[in-house]
Every structure is written in structure tokens, then in C-alpha cells.
Structure 1
Amino acid sequence: MTKDTKRWLSSPAKTLSRRGFMTSAMAAGMAGPALMSLSGQALAAGPKRGGTFKVGFGSGSTTDNLDPATYEGTIMTAVAFLYGNNLVEVDANGALQPELAESWGSEDAKTWVFTLRAGVTFHNGQALTPADVIATINHHRGEGSKSAVNGLVSQIKDMRADGNNVVFELDGANADFPFILSDYHLVILPSKDGALIDPQGGIGTGGYIIDEFEPGVRVKAHRNPDYFKSDRAHFDEVEFLAIVDLTARQNALLNGSVHAIDRVDPKTVALLGRAPNINILEKTSTLHYTFPMRVDAAPFDNYDLRMALKYAVKRQELVDKILLGHGAVGNDHPISTANQYHAGDLAQREFDADKAAFHYKKSGHSGPLQLSSSDAAFAGAVDAAQLIAASAAEAGIEIEVVREPSDGYWSNVWNKKPWTVAYWSGRPTEDWMFASAYTDDTDWNETAWRTTEAAKRFNAVVIEARSELDSDKRRALYAEAQTLVHDDGGALIPMFANHIMGVASTVAHGEVAANWEMDGAKAHERWWFA
């Protein structure tokens, strides 16, 4: 990389945005250790060490395991960051910060060089090397991989070690590529002879060492005494509890069994907020609730049937009655107003019984449509499905709501049955969101939207957009991508929701990130007891 190129990549105009071409740390000319030092100074007067921090999560299943390729749900996101680290992480402002990589850069957005932090060791004492990074990524991109992020990392054409650097060669330019490496599935694991020692071993470089992992029940861990972040991981011990039942989860917070919970029901925000020992923490985010229709399964392979259902939903009613105003209406695509390239000019789809009836008649379908729902998806998911059934009935469309069991919902129902309910935390960049759930190469394409002409055009647009470095041209491409999903896809996305968390007053924290729930799923690392 030439000196002139570095200067161009580090220009403030291109870096201060969280979606900039380079990390804002690099834009400021600061290396990772300097940033860590400043962070430590900022927290020096507040954080103190000690205690056991317990968190109740509204997710978790007996089918969970410690292989990061399989992680799903908020509890497993937090587990990833409990024992592991990524090359980079997203901070409270949505910007990338150094983690296992102390710096990174590219001359053309196609070849990326990440320099690893020196002196980092895994829980088993093994030193971090580029070989561990390469073996970890290959675990997700290898032939036959069923990793949830296979589609994300499929753009990597080649990786190689260069001293203490890892060099990524992409199949095309991607200005947002570093963001992808912050995904919770991509925590770096130890390797030997080019392969991971044990993908399910739960051994990482993170702030806590796992003592007990009981799928769908609990995870216990103790502080890593050799953690490379001296100003993080303040608790002596951490315990995560899978408390899928909403009432049980909120009662656990009220009676002090846990110190924090995620996914607070909007209906009980006021009740919890009145408790003298509890604070409500709410963050506007990219979190959205979806009712995906699989376009590879009848009758949702019919365009007019999908369109009929999109017009049959009273979106504001869902925001008012399910979210109680703690969110905003959605427009059948996953890009929120918090994203840089949100298509604000795309007309908002509204409930229209006449249009719904028109498309339904044109589809030729008759009889009930089954909508599988469970509150495992989100608080009020079953009620939301019933509201959709009621509004659809006004257009002559019969919907049968099937209440599915919470345990095993994500492995047995979602992404399998033709019409289900789900949630997505969203992603900081458009490319990351689309590559996670909409492109034709991801296993998490919950609508199976791959083969229509619009879907093919969408995939071409996403590839073109990720390599386009001109912001105006990129905006136009992402607007087209959102329009294609909105018009043709199987995504029924009626609402975006705020992250609502309940936190004991004995817990202290700084500014909270919104990229995942529970402070970017790192409350255990960033918070402390007051």
C-alpha cells in the first residue's frame, strides 16, 4: 500500500461515517492500543470489578450448540461474544473498532489486509496467529458448509498469511467488507494444521471462559485473567439463562434472579419502569419483525397472492397494538431509516382491502392460508398474526394462525414451513443485511426468493452496489434493491421495533450500542456493578 493511497483511504470525508471505506480509528491515525488506552481512561473513574452478572434472554433452544456456524437467537449471539472475539467490533456509535486486528486497509476494496494484535492468546494458552483466522473463516465458507454466514463469506476468493497479517482477496470490490467480519458467527477459534481444533469446544480469546453450557437452559463462565482488553470484562462470573417465556423472564428481573433481560414486552414497559430497582433501556435500532412467505412453496410462489397479503396488513395497527408505539411501520424491505441508504422515496404500502381482494382473486387461490407463529419470534407474535388474520378477512382472505411451540421453533418451523413469523436485528450496512437473508447464496434466505426475474436482478444489483465506491451511484443501486424486495419478494415486513431491555439499578454502563440487543450483545463485557 502506497503512502498516497493510505492518505486517500484515511481522509475524514471517507471515514467518519460508520459505513466509511476505512475504520474511523484509522482515519484519526490511531492504532488499536491507543484506542484501548483512551477507552480505559474514560472508564477509569467508573467501572469496578467483581460480582456475578446474570442475564435472562428471550431465546434459546435445546438444539443450540457451540459451533458458531449454527448460532441463532439473542442468547447465542451473546455467547459468541462471551468467549470469543472478532477481527473488528461495532461500537456504540455504529463505527468499527479494532479487536483482534489492530488495523486494516485496502487500496481497491478488493484486497484487504488485516494486521493482528500481538500477544493475544486463546483460553487454552495457544497464541493467536493468521492461521487461526484463516481456518475460522474457512469453517464457514468451506465446501458443503451449512454456516448461517456462508453467503456472507462466499465473496472471499482467497486468504493468505503475510507475516502477522491476514490478506483477504475478494471476488469483487466491497467497501463494507470489514463490517462483515464483526458478525457474531465469525468469532476466531484456535486451529491446528489448517483446521479448527474443535468448532464446538467453546475456546476463544474472549473475556470469559465457559464453565458450563446447557443448551436452551444456561451458560456459566468466569473471567479470563489473561484477557487482552484490560478495561473490559469487569464481572468475576457471568451466567446467561434462556427464559423464553415472557412472563417468567420479567418476573426473574423483578425478583432479582437476573440483573438484566432483553425483549421486554412493550405492554409491560410502564409496569417494569415503576419498579424502584429497575431501569428501562430502550434503543432505536434496525430490529424488524417479518412474516416471510417462501416463494418456493405453493401458494406463495404466486406473485398476486403475495401482493394480496402485503396489502391486507394494517401496519400502523400492529405498531400501535403490538409495539405500543415503540417502533415504526415497515415497508416490506429490511433496510431501516437508521441505514445510510434507506430508500425514503419508496412509497409506503398501506392497508387496502380492495387491492388485496383484487390480487387475491387474480391469484386463483381459495381456502385458508396457514400462518405459523410463536412468541419465540417476538413478544406478541401470535397476537400480531391474529391481527393480520383479522385485517385480511376484510379482503375476503382466510388465514389460519397456527400456534407453534417455542422450543425448537427456530430449527423446526422458521425457514422450513411456508409462512412463518420471525425477527431480524438488522445489520449496520445494506450489503450485510441483504447478504444475510436475501441473496441467493445464503441459507438464511427465509423467503427462498431466488429464481424469479426480479430476484435475479436483485442479486446482480447487490453485487454491483457492494463494489461501487461512488456514494450517489451506490444509493441508487440500493434503492433499486429495496424496491425489488418490496415489489416482488416474499418479505412481509410490517414494523420496525425498538430494542427494549430491563436492567437492575445496581448495574452501570456507558453509552449503549444498538447493533444487537444488550449493548451489541456485549453487556457482559462492557457493563459493571455500580
Structure 2
Amino acid sequence: MRRYNRRRLLTSGAAAGVLAAAGLPLGASSAQAGGRFVAGLSGASATDTWNSRSHKGHFMMAAGHGAVFDCLTEIAADGSLTGELATDWEASPDATTWVFNLRRGVAFHDGGGFTAADVLASFALHNGGSGSPAEPLLASVIAMTATGPHQVRFELAEGNADFPYLLSDPRLVIYPADRMHRAMTEGIGTGLYRVAHFKPGIRFVGRRVSDHYKDGRAGWFEEIVFVAMHDAQARVQALQSGGVDAIDEIGPDAGRALDPALLVQEVMGNRHLLVAPHPDMEVRSAAHLRSALKFGLDRSSLLRDLAGGHGQPASDSPIGPANQYRVGLPPVLHDPDRATYHLRKAGLDPSALDLGQPHLKSRYSSGRVTEDWMLTSLLGTLPETQTKTHLLRLTAAARSALDPARRRDLYAEIQHSLRDKDSTTIPFFANWIQAHGPRVATPHQIGNVWAMDNARMAERWWSA
């Protein structure tokens, strides 16, 4: 078996090395326990529950894996991987077998102990046919076995060098096996904060547990409060007035208008806009429309109009600024004449490229920390074409390649294909823009996989 390091070494000097070895985020050496943290967050719903398979917006992501529950692994602010409920892991030479050693002495909020049985039962929630958004992440797992009370072995249908990263997904939180329904109803996890109050779509209050395995490294606040705020302007006003300590998704214009005493965080990650023909569109017409989108969308103008210029143009690949194997290809040149040709072939006029048109679907994706994770998610949404078949084959080869040079070559070929073929249109990457007030202090480095420090601000930030 091959042992994988739990985290990548930090390279910002001796002090960074000391803090990393201690498990502290950079800047947290002066953090003091105590205080109350109130955040105004988007994405809450009256139908929210503690069932992670239904979690979608920032609110439940931050309350779920960012406070009440834990995963086996955790993505640190610098993008490296560290253990959460797993302490370490080993892989076979071909990366088809993975063994995870689990943390001992961990208790759920109701006092029950954490064991391998809880991992197996929690992951079984995402088996084939479950309808869970996390189902594709575990699709290659052909066997899960508890090889001891605190050890789990996974057998994969094909090698996957990034498998430990997948287990950090916010939906793959761990529940107690013998009281799963109660845990999903009441919010019983192993996280730093136990549920004190929860009103779906309105408010969550968590209180710090005592004697936690992350003591001295995270979970500085005594109490955390998340308030659902759907309107961006309402969030800004709440922060300005001191009603909340931090807000997400403030929008590019609001950030410039905030009081200078408030700190705006602009974080570049892999969040991107994806534009595609409506899935009900006739196949040949959809292919021409995809080509028209590539040549007809003015990427710089879209970035300016939709994201206030806060980001960078993209070359139709979801592999972005936070990924290791990004090539950095120049985007397809804006060519209105070629776009018009393809629009005519599709039976459409030039106005067809307006993003509000019913034959187009556009959405933001937060992106993912690994190339394979993002590509697997994207390719599952594309129509069946020769290009998709080619991309799936390349992605599978890169997934199992343990040689970094080989992986780099494969991911470069994938990025060229995504740009040059009629597979998908990703016109730009958009930065995360969020803010906090003077009562809160943060580490020097903020996570960029998801908003609000990878939705873990309740764990990683502290009272100023």
C-alpha cells in the first residue's frame, strides 16, 4: 500500500511550517476562544433539513459540514487535503484500493461513539439509484468494508488518485448508523457545534461542544447564529448596521459602497458561468447553437455586465485558477460572423444569444478542487456525442494516472478539446465576494472552493 501525505507542505517560511505542523491556519496563532458569531447567508429554504442529500445553498452547507457534521477529509484553505474523521489513508499501487484509518475517541452530540459502521451507513445513503447529488462521487466504489472498528477499506472499479478528495464533499457527512433518521431530523453529528435551534429557511443557532478533537485548532466561537437573508441588499444593510458580523454574496457593486471599517473579501476560485442549449432542443440545432455560443459571446463584456469585472475570461473549461493542472489557454476569439452562420444553421436569429432566451440555460457552478471531480460533474450534464465519448475516455485515463506528468498531458488535451469542440461554453470565472465586520478576525488565507472560507467560517474565524 502507498501512503499519501495528509497535507501539502506550506511554503511561506518557517512560521508557516510551524503553524501547519500545529494544525493552525495562518494568522490564527492569536485566536482566543469565546464570543458570538452572526452571519447573514443566502440559499436557505423552508424545506431545509439535516439530510445532506438535499443541501444546496450556502446556508445549509455552512450549517452542515461547516458546523454540525464532519466528513472523512477536509479541504484546507490552501487547497490541500487534511484528515477530519479520518486520520490518514493508504492506496494500493494502482489506486483501486484505499484504506482509511478513522479517528478514535470521537463522540456524536448525543454521546454515542463514532465507528466504521457509521461511515458505511452514511455512504450507503448515496448508493446507485438514491438520487443523491453525491451519487456520482461514489459510483466507482464496488465494495466498502469495515476492516476494524476504526478502519474502512474501499475497492474501486478503476484507479482514482483523487479519491480522498471526493470524501470531503459537503454531502458526504457522517451520521450515526443506528439512529440515522433521528440524526437527520435533529441534527446529530460530530462537528464542533451542536444544534441549539433550527427553523428551516429562517435561522440556525449552534453552541460549541466541549472536549472536541479540533480543540486548539478550530471552533473558536462559543455560539454561532446563521440568519437566512435572501436579498443581497438586505445582507449588506445588516452588516452595515452591525446586525450581523459577516455576509456572503454581496455583489460587485455593493462591495465598493461598504463602510471602510468593513472588510470585503474577494477570493478567486473555480466558480464559473456555464451556458448551454436547452436539453429539449433538437440535436443538430443544439450543436450549431453551442458553436454559435463559443464564437458569439463577448466574454469580457459578459464578465463586466454579470460579475462587475470581478473574475477572468474562461476558455470553455471548468478547470480553473484553483486547479493544479490548468493550462491557461486563451479563449476562443469573438467572431460574430461565424456565430451568425451557426445561428442560421440552427434556425435562429442573432438575438438567440441573449442569455434570457428560453432555448438557453445558464447557471453558476462553484467548481471543484480537483480536475477529475469537476470534469466528472460537467460531463454528466452533456449530450451524448463523439466529443463527450472522447472526453470521458481521457478523463478516465487521467483519473487513474499516478504520474503527474502523464496527468498534466491528459488534462491539457481535455482543456484543448473543451475549447475547440462544440461541447460546452464557459465564458468566465467569477470571484467570490463576501464581507465581514470589525468584530471578526480571519486567517490570512481564505478557502476558495466555496464561499465563506469553503463554508467553514464558523470553524476557522474568531472574535477580534
The farther-off stretch of 502-511 and 51-60 is 51-60
Aligned to 1:327: 311
Q: CA deviation at 1:178?
A: 0.6
Report the Cα distance in structure 2 between the residues aligned to 1:461 and 1:135, rounded to whole angstroms: 33
CA 1:132–1:304: 2 relative to 1, 3 Å: same
Report the Cα distance in structure 1 between the residues aligned to 2:413 and 2:177, rounded to whole angstroms: 42
Aligned to 2:190: 205
Report the Cα distance in structure 1 between the residues aligned to 2:323 and 2:105, rounded to whole angstroms: 36
Q: CA deviation at 1:398?
A: 6.5
Report the Cα distance in structure 1 between the residues aligned to 2:226 and 2:35, rounded to whole angstroms: 14
Aligned pairs (5 A) from 1:359-378:
359-363=342-346, 365-366=347-348
CA 1:504–1:105: 2 relative to 1, 3 Å: same
Q: CA deviation at 1:35?
A: 8.5
1:71 and 2:55 correspond: yes
Contact in 2 for aligned 1:307/1:356 (Cα 8 Å)? yes
Q: 1:513 aligns with which of 447, 454, 458?
A: 447
The farther-off stretch of 256-265 and 215-224 is 215-224
The farther-off stretch of 297-306 and 512-521 is 297-306
Contact in 2 for aligned 1:56/1:249 (Cα 8 Å)? yes
1:82 and 2:67 correspond: yes
* Paired positions, count: 451
Contact in 2 for aligned 1:191/1:197 (Cα 8 Å)? no
Aligned to 2:369: 428
Aligned to 2:91: 106
Report the Cα distance in structure 1 between the residues aligned to 2:345 and 2:252, rounded to whole angstroms: 38
Aligned to 1:288: 272
- Normalised by the length of structure 2, the TM-score is 0.90
User: Helix, strand or coil: the match of 2:23?
Assistant: helix
Q: CA deviation at 1:519?
A: 1.1
CA 1:208–1:317: 2 relative to 1, 3 Å: same
Aligned to 2:401: 468
For residues 478-500 of structure 1, the C-alpha deviation after alignment (integer angstroms, 9 at most, x for no partner) is 22333443345663321111221
User: Helix, strand or coil: the match of 2:62?
Assistant: helix
User: Helix, strand or coil: the match of 1:192?
Assistant: helix
Q: CA deviation at 1:124?
A: 1.4
Contact in 2 for aligned 1:293/1:492 (Cα 8 Å)? no
The farther-off stretch of 116-125 and 61-70 is 61-70
1:270 and 2:270 correspond: no
For residues 306-335 of structure 1, the C-alpha deviation after alignment (integer angstroms, 9 at most, x for no partner) is 211232211111223333332100122211
Report the Cα distance in structure 2 between the residues aligned to 1:311 and 1:91, rounded to whole angstroms: 38
Contact in 1 for aligned 2:25/2:443 (Cα 8 Å)? no
1:528 and 2:462 correspond: yes
For residues 435-475 of structure 1, the C-alpha deviation after alignment (integer angstroms, 9 at most, x for no partner) is 2x2233xxxx3xxx142121122222211110011222212
Report the Cα distance in structure 2 between the residues aligned to 1:41 and 1:464, rounded to whole angstroms: 35
Aligned to 2:360: 419
CA 1:128–1:509: 2 relative to 1, 3 Å: same
Contact in 2 for aligned 1:63/1:216 (Cα 8 Å)? yes
Q: CA deviation at 1:284?
A: 1.6
Aligned pairs (5 A) from 1:52-451:
52-80=36-64, 81-108=66-93, 109-141=95-127, 143-163=128-148, 164-192=150-178, 198-231=183-216, 232-272=218-258, 275-298=259-282, 302-344=286-328, 346-363=329-346, 365-366=347-348, 392-393=350-351, 397=352, 399=354, 401=356, 419-435=360-376, 437-440=377-380, 445=381, 449-451=382-384
For residues 235-273 of structure 1, the C-alpha deviation after alignment (integer angstroms, 9 at most, x for no partner) is 12111122121111111111111110111211122211x
Contact in 1 for aligned 2:355/2:361 (Cα 8 Å)? no
Contact in 2 for aligned 1:51/1:529 (Cα 8 Å)? yes
Report the Cα distance in structure 2 between the residues aligned to 1:248 and 1:182, rounded to whole angstroms: 32
Amino acid at match of 1:270: R
Contact in 2 for aligned 1:85/1:188 (Cα 8 Å)? yes
Contact in 2 for aligned 1:308/1:355 (Cα 8 Å)? yes
Contact in 1 for aligned 2:50/2:183 (Cα 8 Å)? no
Contact in 1 for aligned 2:99/2:152 (Cα 8 Å)? yes
User: Helix, strand or coil: the match of 1:474?
Assistant: helix
Amino acid at match of 2:42: G
CA 1:398–1:484: 2 relative to 1, 3 Å: closer
Report the Cα distance in structure 2 between the residues aligned to 1:220 and 1:300, rounded to whole angstroms: 52
Amino acid at match of 2:245: H
Contact in 2 for aligned 1:313/1:350 (Cα 8 Å)? no
Amino acid at match of 2:369: P
Amino acid at match of 2:80: A
Contact in 1 for aligned 2:41/2:230 (Cα 8 Å)? yes
Amino acid at match of 2:331: Q
Q: 1:494 aligns with which of 416, 427, 434?
A: 427
Amino acid at match of 1:48: Q
1:453 and 2:386 correspond: yes
Report the Cα distance in structure 2 between the residues aligned to 1:42 and 1:342, rounded to whole angstroms: 26
CA 1:295–1:110: 2 relative to 1, 3 Å: same
Q: CA deviation at 1:205?
A: 0.4
Report the Cα distance in structure 1 between the residues aligned to 2:321 and 2:264, rounded to whole angstroms: 23
Amino acid at match of 2:455: A
For residues 19-51 of structure 1, the C-alpha deviation after alignment (integer angstroms, 9 at most, x for no partner) is xxx6437xxxxxxxx999813697775222222
User: Helix, strand or coil: the match of 1:322?
Assistant: helix
User: Over the residues paired in the alignment, what is the CA RMSD in angstroms?
Assistant: 2.6
Report the Cα distance in structure 2 between the residues aligned to 1:41 and 1:341, rounded to whole angstroms: 25
Q: CA deviation at 1:302?
A: 2.1
- Normalised by the length of structure 1, the TM-score is 0.79
Amino acid at match of 1:182: S
User: Helix, strand or coil: the match of 1:49?
Assistant: coil
User: Helix, strand or coil: the match of 1:213?
Assistant: strand
Report the Cα distance in structure 1 between the residues aligned to 2:442 and 2:101, rounded to whole angstroms: 30
Report the Cα distance in structure 2 between the residues aligned to 1:332 and 1:197, rounded to whole angstroms: 44
For residues 182-201 of structure 1, the C-alpha deviation after alignment (integer angstroms, 9 at most, x for no partner) is 111111111029x7764444
Contact in 2 for aligned 1:131/1:161 (Cα 8 Å)? yes
Report the Cα distance in structure 2 between the residues aligned to 1:524 and 1:398, rounded to whole angstroms: 41
Report the Cα distance in structure 1 between the residues aligned to 2:67 and 2:134, rounded to whole angstroms: 19
User: Helix, strand or coil: the match of 2:412?
Assistant: helix
Q: CA deviation at 1:153?
A: 0.9
Report the Cα distance in structure 2 between the residues aligned to 1:240 and 1:330, rounded to whole angstroms: 34
Report the Cα distance in structure 1 between the residues aligned to 2:256 and 2:26, rounded to whole angstroms: 33
Contact in 2 for aligned 1:159/1:167 (Cα 8 Å)? yes
Report the Cα distance in structure 2 between the residues aligned to 1:182 and 1:462, rounded to whole angstroms: 20
Contact in 2 for aligned 1:341/1:475 (Cα 8 Å)? yes
